[in-house]
Amino acid sequence: VLASKGIERKTLLRPSQVVQEVLGVASSRVVVLSGPSFAREVCLRYPTAVVAASTSLEAAQRVQQWFTTEYFRVYTSQDVVGTELGGALKNVIAIAAGVADGLGFGQNTRAALIARGLVEISRLGERLGAQAITFWGLAGVGDLVLTCTGDLSRNRQVGLRLGRGERLEEILSGMQMVAEGVNTVYSAVALAEKYQVEMPITEAVYRVLVEGIQPRVAVLELMGRRLKEEFGGL
Amino acid sequence: VLASKGIERKTLLRPSQVVQEVLGVASSRVVVLSGPSFAREVCLRYPTAVVAASTSLEAAQRVQQWFTTEYFRVYTSQDVVGTELGGALKNVIAIAAGVADGLGFGQNTRAALIARGLVEISRLGERLGAQAITFWGLAGVGDLVLTCTGDLSRNRQVGLRLGRGERLEEILSGMQMVAEGVNTVYSAVALAEKYQVEMPITEAVYRVLVEGIQPRVAVLELMGRRLKEEFGGL
């Protein structure tokens, strides 16, 4: 059984948990496949690398064998929680990166949002039982970079248009596919509050999307926070 | 005293070590400033975040206070080794990312090179006394992403042109500024050998730049390596 990305808004369950519940199977029967992989590029046979994660290494290795080709490389992992959270939480950061680009800021700003976004994602992940190292791999950094810089990313597109001054309702009404980050931001903020984790970028996205503050104000608030050690909060 | 990026090819010394030696000052007097910061964008006052690292937290905090403005945010760190190595080693990965783009591969490939490149850089860094976490911050991931995706990056440009089939001599003869990765790859491979660290992407760049193998062959070799756990080698 393979599961997709996200965190269910009402129950805060991850997809693999939903799959286990609905199908009534053990976690060792569920494998999560995640990583930087725009479907269109996989179809074009561009070299792609992903992670197959399962509580059962044997199950992950089976998926690794099944899915590996000369252009699709699969690594195994036993950190299902981290692999799923990386895929879900990165969508919120991608909205922030899109907003910065839409406001006309440069690549320094985007790179800073990616690096600091990664810190806060991994901070929450660890509290939820993930291994920090997973966020520094394909399902973390890899997927985050793809989604924050790739124009095929719907979450980035939502941010871009917000940054250019469009309203959220307007943007969403014209989209055929779901920009998952717009839903995930509710779950992420709820989890951050519950586990008392500081997530300034995620909270800024929430304030823009849900509370309707101006994107430029949100960026200035982020830059004006108290000066600190880079990993002081970890 | 502030030092710049690189690893000296003959002595394998980092810039801060060279500065200490030449000026005869203690390490506590040297602060390294690094992170995703194209100079052109800093001049344009785009929001930028960097790290000031010193063995003396007090010295780093002084630089933090001096350099911080409303568009330039400085975090402190006491990991000088990691901060310098992140800035140097990322240039080699940027050449690899450029090569992949020059060959016409997509964003999946580039994201995979960034994520896996980060793993091998941090692996070497830890052996050299850096803290792994520094590589997941602004001077690591942040600078790596900027250099691998930003068209202002000279290292990326060298890779792009190699991927399109130009010869290295031809490319370098036309460049006004130094693409540091072309020199750093010698130091990186020497250090990887000395400390017995597996660095497949760095070694592939070395084979293309120094041994002259075809970029496409190097990519296929990378994809065809033995299947493994994502962090099995750490």
pLDDT tens-digit series, residues B192-217: 999 999 999 999 999 999 999 999 99
Q: Out of B47, B75, B133, whose CB is closest to A105?
A: B47
pLDDT at A1 over 70: no
Q: A31 pairs with which residues across the strands?
A: A2
- What six digits make up the tokens of A60? 């992950």
pLDDT at A177: 75
Q: Residue A5 — pLDDT band, cuts 50, 70, 90?
A: low
Give helix B181-194 / helix B107-127 axis angle, nearest 10°: 50
d(CA B153, CA B208) in angstroms, rounded, equals 19
pLDDT at B229: 84
**How far is residue A63 from each of residues A20, A75, A229, B220, B230, measured CA to CA in Å?**
17, 10, 41, 22, 14
Contact present, A148 and A97 (Cβ < 8 Å): yes
Distance linking the first and last C-alpha atoms of chain B: 35
Mean pLDDT in residue range A30-48: 95
User: Residue B1 CB: number of other CB atoms within 10 A?
Assistant: 14
Between B104 and B5, the higher pLDDT residue? B104
What predicted TM-score, i.e. pTM, was given to this entire model? 0.93
Q: The tokens 């199950």 sit on which residue?
A: A59
pLDDT tens for each residue of A193-225: 999 999 999 999 999 999 999 999 998 888 778
pLDDT at A234: 41
- The whole-angstrom distance between A118's CA and the closest CA on chain B is 8
pLDDT tens for each residue of A92-123: 999 999 999 999 999 999 999 999 999 999 99
**C-alpha R_g of chain B:** 17
- The values of phi and psi at residue A137, to 5°, are -110, -160
Is ipTM > 0.95 here? no
pLDDT at A178 over 80: no
Q: Out of B106, B119, B133, whose CB is closest to A41?
A: B106
Mean pLDDT in residue range B1-19: 77
pLDDT tens for each residue of A80-97: 999 999 999 999 999 999
d(CA B120, CA B138) in angstroms, rounded, equals 17
For chain B positions 94-123, those within 8 Å of chain A (CB to CB) are: 100, 105-112, 114-116, 118-119, 122
**How far is residue B202 from each of residues A90, A213, B87, B105, B121, measured CA to CA in Å?**
27, 44, 15, 19, 9
Sequence-ordered strand ranges (E) for chain A:
2-3, 31-34, 48-53, 72-77
Contact present, A29 and A1 (Cβ < 8 Å): yes
**Known catalytic residue: A90?**
yes
Mean pLDDT in residue range A156-165: 94
Kindly state whether B224 is in contact with chain A, defined as any CB-CB distance less than 8 angstroms: yes
**Which has the minimum average pLDDT: A20-34, A121-135, A208-222, B122-136?**
A208-222
Q: A32 pairs with which residues across the strands?
A: A3, A53
d(CA A55, CA B230) in angstroms, rounded, equals 14
Q: Out of B36, B76, B224, whose CB is closest to A112?
A: B36
Nearest to B64 by CA among A222, A227, A223, A109: A227
pLDDT tens for each residue of A13-26: 899 999 999 999 99
pLDDT at A157 over 80: yes
Report strand pairing: B31-34 vs B2-3: parallel
pLDDT at A206: 96
Q: The tokens 């690549």 sit on which residue?
A: A107
